[in-house]
Structure 1
Amino acid sequence: MTVRVMLISPAMNAALREARFAGDAPLDASGHRQARSAAGVVPAADRYLRGPSLRCAATAAALGLRSDPEPALRDWEMGRWSGAPLSEVSADEPDGVAAWLTDPSAAPHGGESLLELCARVGAWLDSSHGSGGERVLVVAEPAVVRAATVHALDLPPQAFWRLDVAPLTVTELSGRSGRWNLRCGRPLQREPGN
């Protein structure tokens, strides 16, 4: 069965503004406002899911979605770097950051490697075609959206670093396990004339 998976990246928060390894940081006031203003333009779906983070939960709620948390769609596990600013980690552990950015199997932070992230998200994506519903809408952290795109298009893992996922944008994958098509980066906004 063909399925359409629509991945919405959550609204802005302080961790994103400060270039931190997010941890589980909630939305800030600006993020709440942005998500509430996009509530009327969320695509319809047969199933609604979200990553388990505070940011995904608050975005889904502000968008007016009744969504179920999906553990497989949790954010990239950053181990001891979680919550720290990228600038601080880069200054304290330059070799670790360099390895993390260049070797997809590296996890110098003690968390999850890029390969592990892509495999986890890819396994969920490939199982989504038999999960009851042709249209699945998911609020997921940008790393999860990027990992899903890398997996769906069978890109080399290093392509992950070349994908930008802005807050409150929709990335659509349609197809089924082994054959996916991509429509990326559509902002949540009203279509002209609506």
Structure 2
Amino acid sequence: MTSRVTLISPAMNAALRQALFDDGTTSLDEGGAATARAAAGSLPAPTRVLTSPSTRCRETATALGFEGVPVADLGGLDAGRWQGLTLDEVAATEPEAVGSWLSDPSSAPHGGDSVQSVCERVGRWLDTAQGADGRTLAVVEPDVVRAAVVHALGLSAAVFWRLDVAPLTATELSGRAGRWNLRLGSALTAGQP
């Protein structure tokens, strides 16, 4: 049996534009919502639809025409006390902490999740998804897409920040017998099957 998991990154919102450590409550902006609505119908019919618990992921799923089930294990990286601040603001006041966080996957100077812990959490979820019949579509935070790719390819968590995930793109994983294959970052566009 081959399992198929398509990870969709959320459409654009103010938090993504500002590199803000979002607390998960920021909605899509009108341009992001319109782009997602225009891409509705561009994905194959899934067996199940899941989302990160964040507002932007749930709203992206809805705009794409799906009713997704929020899954805690697909939540984005918890930035702890940095939530509500931009990366520039944190870098100006805590440059060493930001440097450590970006270079050491086990570092969590903000008191939230480390990159390593997110990769492990998402990896455990992906391992269980490999046994699911049919096609799973998951609208998830960009860091969840990164963590899934790290796990699927058996990469070191040190490459996490080197994986760019553009808004409203599909990363497809297909797996069987403990092995995943990867198709990266297809843009969702109107009329694309």
Give the TM interval when normalised to the shorter protein: over 0.9
What SS does the corresponding residue of 1:34 show, helix, strand or coil? helix
Q: How does 1:130-169 map to 2 (within 5 A)?
A: 130-131=131-132, 133-169=133-169
Q: CA deviation at 1:8?
A: 0.4
Q: How does 1:1-194 map to 2 (within 5 A)?
A: 1-24=1-24, 25-131=26-132, 133-176=133-176, 178-190=178-190
Q: CA RMSD in A?
A: 1.4
Q: CA deviation at 1:43?
A: 2.4
Q: CA deviation at 1:190?
A: 4.5
Q: Is the 8 Å Cα contact of residues 127 and 177 (structure 1) preserved in structure 2?
A: no
Q: CA deviation at 1:154?
A: 0.5
Structure 2 Cα separation of the partners of residues 191 and 150 of structure 1: 31
Q: Is the 8 Å Cα contact of residues 40 and 190 (structure 2) preserved in structure 1?
A: no
Structure 2 Cα separation of the partners of residues 26 and 65 of structure 1: 17
Structure 2 Cα separation of the partners of residues 92 and 56 of structure 1: 30
What SS does the corresponding residue of 1:88 show, helix, strand or coil? helix
Structure 2 Cα separation of the partners of residues 177 and 120 of structure 1: 20
Structure 1, 137-146 or 42-51: larger mean CA deviation: 42-51
Q: Is the 8 Å Cα contact of residues 125 and 177 (structure 1) preserved in structure 2?
A: no
Aligned residues: 192
Structure 1, 41-50 or 165-174: larger mean CA deviation: 41-50
Structure 1: tracts of 5 or more residues without a match: none
Q: Which amino acid aligns with 1:152?
A: A
Q: Could you tell me the TM-score, scaled by structure 1's length?
A: 0.95
Q: Which amino acid aligns with 1:98?
A: G
Instruction: Show CA shifts across 1:44-65 (max 9, x none).
Output: 2111111110000110111110
Q: Could you tell me the TM-score, scaled by structure 2's length?
A: 0.95
Q: Is the 8 Å Cα contact of residues 39 and 191 (structure 2) preserved in structure 1?
A: no
What SS does the corresponding residue of 1:130 show, helix, strand or coil? coil
Tell me the percent identity.
57
Instruction: Show CA shifts across 1:16-54 (max 9, x none).
Output: 111111221211111111111111212221111111100
Q: CA deviation at 1:156?
A: 1.0
> Which consecutive segments of 4 or more residues in structure 1 shift more than 3 A?
none
Q: Is the 8 Å Cα contact of residues 38 and 190 (structure 2) preserved in structure 1?
A: no
